Structure 1
C-alpha cells in the first residue's frame, strides 16, 4: 500500500489517499474515480509531501527523554482536526448488521443448502446442460453450476429459467 497527500484543486482541500501502487493511483486519477471528500470535486492531484520511510522490523522505536517543554514555548491549547481520508471507491461498512438481517441471511443460507441437496453440480457446463434439458435432448433434473453473465442472459432470452444463488457454492471436488 502507498499513501499520497492529495489536494482538491477547486477548494484547496488536502486529504490522504491510500492505493495499492502508484500505477493504481494513476489509473484511478485517469478514470476520474477520485473525488474530494469535502466538496465532491473530481479535480484531484498529488500535493507536496514529505517522504515516509518505515522503520525496519528489527529496530526498536526510539523514545525521546521526557523533558518538559521550555517555558518560552507554550503548549498548544487545541489540536487541529485530522484530515479526512480520500474516497476512491465506496467504503464497506464495518458496522455489524442488525440481528434481523443476520437471521435472514442465515435462513437464506439454510434454504440454499437444503435446495442444493436435491440438485446436481454440473460446473461450467451449466448453460449447455440447461439448454439440453429445455429442448428435450436429455432428461430434466435440478442442476446448479457456473456460467457467465452473457450465457445467463442468453438462457433467459431463450425462455430458460435461471437464477443466481444468494451465496457462493464450493464445487464438490474442492470441498474438504
Structure 2
C-alpha cells in the first residue's frame, strides 16, 4: 500500500491510500478519487516526506499528521462541528440502517409513524427522496470513518 498527500483544485488537503502508484493513476483517470470536503475530482499528489523507520519506539500519531487537512484550523473546526452534529443525531433518533430511504418514504406518505430516523442511503437514493419532496440531510463522511 502507498499513501499519498493529495489536494484538490479548492486547495483542500487530504490523504489517500492506494495499492500502488498505478492504482492511483487508474482511479484518478476514472474520476474515482474525490476530495472528501468538496467532492472535486480535480485532485493532484503533493510532495511528502518518505516514511523512514527508526530505532526509536513510534509515538502516537497526532490527528493532524494522520489527516493533513486537519492542519487548517477552520477545517478542523468544521469537522468537529459535523462530528458533534452526527453524535447528536445518533443520540436523538432511531437508526434504521440501509432501510432509510424506504422508512423515510413510509413516514412521508403516512404509512408509518413519524419519528426522527437516521441511516444509510446512496447519493442517488438521497437525491430521489429530495425530488419527491421528502426532507433529508446527507452528512459528509468524517476522516475517521474512512478506515
What TM-score, normalized to structure 2? 0.51
Deviations 1:1-37 (A, max 9, x none): 79xxxxxxxxxxxxxxx98276x48957xx599xxxx
Match of 1:144 in 2: 118
The counterpart of 1:106, out of the listed 76, 80, 99, is 80
The counterpart of 1:160, out of the listed 125, 134, 146, is 134
CA contact (8 A) 2:98 2:120 kept: yes
Other structure's SS at 1:162 match: coil
Larger radius of gyration: 1
Runs of 4+ in 1 over 6 A off after TM superposition: none
Q: Which one has the bigger helix percentage?
A: 2
Deviations 1:126-167 (A, max 9, x none): 000000000000100111111122211111111001121234
Gaps of 5+ in 2: 3-17, 32-41, 48-67, 143-147
The number of residues matched between the two structures is 97
Other structure's SS at 2:118 match: strand
When residues 162 and 95 of structure 1 are mapped into structure 2, their CA distance, relative to the original with a 3 A threshold, is: closer
Gaps of 5+ in 1: 3-17, 34-87, 169-176
Other structure's SS at 2:130 match: helix
What TM-score, normalized to structure 1? 0.43
